[in-house]
Amino acid sequence: MGYRNHQQIKELISSYMDGEADEKQKKIVEIHLKECPECQREFEEMKKLEEVMGQMELKKPPKETWQVYWSSVYNRLERRIGWILFSIGAIILLFFGGYKAVEGIIQDQTTPLLLKVGILAAMAGLAVLLVSILRERLFVRKRERYEEVEK
Amino acid sequence: MPQERALEGKLVVCGVQSGMSERKTLSEKDLLKLVQAGSREAYGEVVRKYMKSAYYIALGIVHNHQDALDLSQEAFVKAFRNIKKFNTDKAFFPWFYRLMKNLCLDHLRKRDRRVEVPLEESQVSCEDEKNRELKATLWRGIAALPFEQRELVILRYFQQFSYQEIAEITAKPVGTIMSSLYYAKKKLKEILAKHLGFERENKREN
């Protein structure tokens, strides 16, 4: 072993097997393998492992996947814009509708006071929930982006 | 599919405008500049070029066809929306990969929090019956690796990227790639030990 520690040689053998070693490294590995039975054995086992791994293939998706792949992406791009516009519109309508409803309920003389309070409380609660969910969505998304490091 | 034909139609129109032959020889850099200028047709070419790598890598990470398809497509959507931030002097795929990886990790985090979903072993195709059990074991072993190692195994042995390319994609030095892959293989080798008849190794370990 001499000038390199054994661990480094082992890593080198691994990259040698992956066809990533340069000429000088190849020489080091080949010479070392001849004189080190431990590495020789590990080399054989790694070879077997890579052989099995080489036969492994990720399952192919259904054929039509590739034909419709881009149009699915395209649809998503388009739909995203649709959703944004729709959401803006829906929020405006919701606020306007809510405002009108509250106005109507307050001005209506025939509705009993208790019912008025109930309806108003329910509507206020709904509004708070909506805002809360919206805020959570926005903040969680922003924050999670920085939690990429695993374990 | 009529829609696809419509898209192709647009491409041809675009090609006629800028000269068909020119269109074909566009480099990735030029293509991406077109995308930055808002061209969805140009983006279509970029997506077609990388969709398979994207899908298979996502499959290697999330182990499920539907999620892999969904996440890889979502990543392309996200990349398009952020394309202005992309530096066209650099390669597209490493940038895209990081973006997709984050989506996949977010997804895994949510999924793991929800329920323990059993991994689909069937994601490895076993056309020949030979070694079926062995491959299933190996696949489970890969799934159990820490993410940093699993990612490298997928890129190297399932996507055939070189160490240099992986270094670029993952923004890590080649030396790190080399030693992480070694440790990953060492672990996989131990998992497979019984199947491959390496039992005597256990005796020697101590």
Q: Quick one: A71 and A101 in the same domain?
A: yes
A1 domain residue, yes or no? no
CB contact under 8 A, A53 and B73: no
Q: What are A87-136's pLDDT values in tens digits?
A: 889 889 988 988 888 888 888 888 788 888 898 899 889 989 988 888 88
Q: Quick one: A69 and A131 in the same domain?
A: yes
Size of interface A-B (CB pairs under 8 A): 127
Q: Note the pLDDT of residue B8.
A: 41
**Radius of gyration from C-alpha coordinates of chain B:** 21
Domain span at A35: 6-55
Number of domains in chain A: 2
Place B178 in a pLDDT band, splitting at 50, 70 and 90: very high
Q: Note the pLDDT of residue B177.
A: 94
Half-sphere exposure of A102 (CA within 13 A, CB side): 12
Q: Quick one: A49 and A118 in the same domain?
A: no
The structure's pTM equals 0.70
Q: Quick one: A11 and A40 in the same domain?
A: yes
Q: Quick one: A68 and A128 in the same domain?
A: yes
ipTM surpasses cut 0.95: no
Q: What are B125-150's pLDDT values in tens digits?
A: 655 566 777 888 888 888 888 889 99
Q: Quick one: A76 and A140 in the same domain?
A: yes
Handedness of CA B140, B145, B147, B152 (dihedral sign): negative
Token pair of A57, please?
A: 């293939």
Q: Note the pLDDT of residue B127.
A: 57
A150 domain residue, yes or no? no
Place B14 in a pLDDT band, splitting at 50, 70 and 90: very low
What separation in angstroms does the CA of B117 have from each of A89, B108, B110, B120? Answer: 38, 10, 11, 9
A40 domain residue, yes or no? yes
Q: Note the pLDDT of residue A82.
A: 84
Q: Quick one: A43 and A89 in the same domain?
A: no
A135 domain residue, yes or no? yes
pLDDT at B121 over 70: no
Asked if the C-beta of B6 comes within 8 angstroms of chain A's C-beta atoms, the answer is no
A149 domain residue, yes or no? no
Q: Note the pLDDT of residue B104.
A: 92
Average pLDDT in chain B = 79
Q: Quick one: A85 and A134 in the same domain?
A: yes
Distance from CA of B29 to the nearest CA of A (A): 20
Of B183, B172, B112, the closest CA to residue B146 belongs to B183
Cβ atoms of residues B74 and B28 within 8 Å: no
A38 domain residue, yes or no? yes
A151 domain residue, yes or no? no
Q: Quick one: A92 and A135 in the same domain?
A: yes
A69 domain residue, yes or no? yes
pLDDT at A18 over 50: yes
Q: Quick one: A78 and A122 in the same domain?
A: yes
pLDDT at A11 over 50: yes
Distance from CA of A53 to the nearest CA of B (A): 7
Q: Quick one: A20 and A81 in the same domain?
A: no
Q: Which of A12, A41, A55 to mutate to test the interface with B (most CBs of B within 10 A)?
A: A55
Q: What are B64-81's pLDDT values in tens digits?
A: 889 999 999 999 999 999
Q: Quick one: A130 and A78 in the same domain?
A: yes
Q: Which of B96, B183, B185 to mutate to test the interface with A (most CBs of A within 10 A)?
A: B185
Residue B171: strand pairing partners: none
Place B61 in a pLDDT band, splitting at 50, 70 and 90: confident
Nearest beta carbon to residue A11 from set B73, B182, B196: B182
CB contact under 8 A, B135 and A52: yes
Q: What are A25-35's pLDDT values in tens digits?
A: 899 999 999 98
Which chain A residue has its CA at the smallest distance from B57's CA?
A58
Q: Note the pLDDT of residue B3.
A: 43
Q: Please give the domain boundaries of chain B with CATH numbers for all domains.
A: 13-117 (1.10.1740.10), 128-206 (1.10.10.10)
Nearest beta carbon to residue A14 from set B51, B65, B185: B185
Segment B162-174 shows an average pLDDT of 91
**A33, A55, A77 - which closes a domain:** A55
What separation in angstroms does the CA of A101 have from each of A27, A92, A117, A131? Answer: 84, 14, 13, 19
Contacts of B76 in chain A (CB under 8 A): 73
SS (H, E, C) B40-61: HHHHHHHHHHHHHHHHHHHHHH
